[in-house]
Amino acid sequence: MSPHSATTRRCLLLLEKCKNMQDLKQAHALIVTSGLGSNSFALSRVLDFCSNPNQGSPAHAWKVFQHIQKPTICIWNTILKAFLLNNELFETVSVYKNLLQCGIAPDNYTLPYVFKACSRLKSVPLGESVHGYGLKLGLVFDIFVGNSLIFMYCEFRNMKGARYMFDEMPSLSAVSWTVMISGYAKVGEVDNARLFFDVAPVRDRGIWGAMISGYIQNACFKEGLYLFRLMQFTDIEPDEAIFVSILCGCAHLGALDVGIWIHRYLDHIGFPLSIRLSTGLIDMYAKCGNLDLAKRIFYEMPLKDTVCWNAMISAMAIHGDGETVLELFREMEKIGVRPDDITFIAVFTACSYSGMTYEGLRMFDRMCTVYKIQPKSEHYGCIVDLLSRGGLFEEAKEIVQRVIISSNPSEEELVWRAFLSACCTHGQAQLAELASGKLFQLERESGFYVLLSNLYAAAGKDGDALKVRKLMKNRGVEKVPGCSSVEIDGGVHEFIAGEKIHPHMEEIHSVLDMLNRH
| Domains identified in the chain, total number | 1
- Measured CA to CA, the distance from residue 413 to residue 390 in angstroms comes to 22
Domain residue limits at 505: 482-517
Closest CA to 457 of 434, 493, 432: 432
Poorest-pLDDT segment among 20-29, 170-179, 406-415, 492-501: 492-501
Q: How confident is the model at residue 463 (pLDDT cuts 50, 70, 90)?
A: low
Residue 223 forms part of a structural domain: no
How much of the chain, in percent, has pLDDT values that exceed 90? 55
User: Residue 411: is its pLDDT beyond 90?
Assistant: no
Residue 50 forms part of a structural domain: no
Query: Between these two residues, 68 and 506, which has the higher pLDDT value?
Result: 68
- Measured CA to CA, the distance from residue 110 to residue 487 in angstroms comes to 51
Residue 410 CB-half CA count within 13 A: 0
pLDDT digits (tens, 9 = 90+) for 156-187: 999 999 999 999 999 999 999 999 999 999 99
Cross-strand partners of 493 = 486
User: Residue 305: is its pLDDT beyond 90?
Assistant: yes
3-state secondary structure 158-195: CHHHHHHHHHHCCCCCHHHHHHHHHHHHHCCCHHHHHH
Residue 496 forms part of a structural domain: yes
Mean pLDDT of 70-97: 93
pLDDT the model gives residue 418 = 74
Poorest-pLDDT segment among 177-186, 353-362, 385-394, 434-443: 434-443
Residue 11 forms part of a structural domain: no
Is the distance from CB of 398 to CB of 380 less than 8 angstroms?
no
Alpha-carbon torsion, ordered 437, 438, 443, 448, to 10 deg: -60
pLDDT digits (tens, 9 = 90+) for 215-254: 999 999 999 999 999 999 999 999 999 999 999 999 999 9
Residue 505 forms part of a structural domain: yes
- Measured CA to CA, the distance from residue 425 to residue 423 in angstroms comes to 5
Mean pLDDT of all residues belonging to the chain: 82
> Other CB atoms closer than 10 Å to residue 331's CB: what's the count?
12
Residue 499 forms part of a structural domain: yes
- What burial class does residue 425 get, using C-beta atoms within 10 Å of its C-beta: 0-12 exposed, 13-18 middle, 19+ buried? middle
Poorest-pLDDT segment among 18-32, 74-88, 89-103, 294-308: 18-32
User: Residue 391: is its pLDDT beyond 50?
Assistant: yes
Q: How confident is the model at residue 27 (pLDDT cuts 50, 70, 90)?
A: confident
Three-state DSSP class for residue 493: strand
370 CB-near residues (< 8 Å, 6+ apart): none
Residue 512 forms part of a structural domain: yes
pLDDT the model gives residue 280 = 96
pLDDT the model gives residue 396 = 78
pTM of the model: 0.77
Residue 488 forms part of a structural domain: yes
Is the distance from CB of 145 to CB of 139 less than 8 angstroms?
yes
User: Residue 443: is its pLDDT beyond 60?
Assistant: no
Mean pLDDT of 113-127: 95
Dihedral of alpha carbons 229, 235, 237, 238, sign: negative
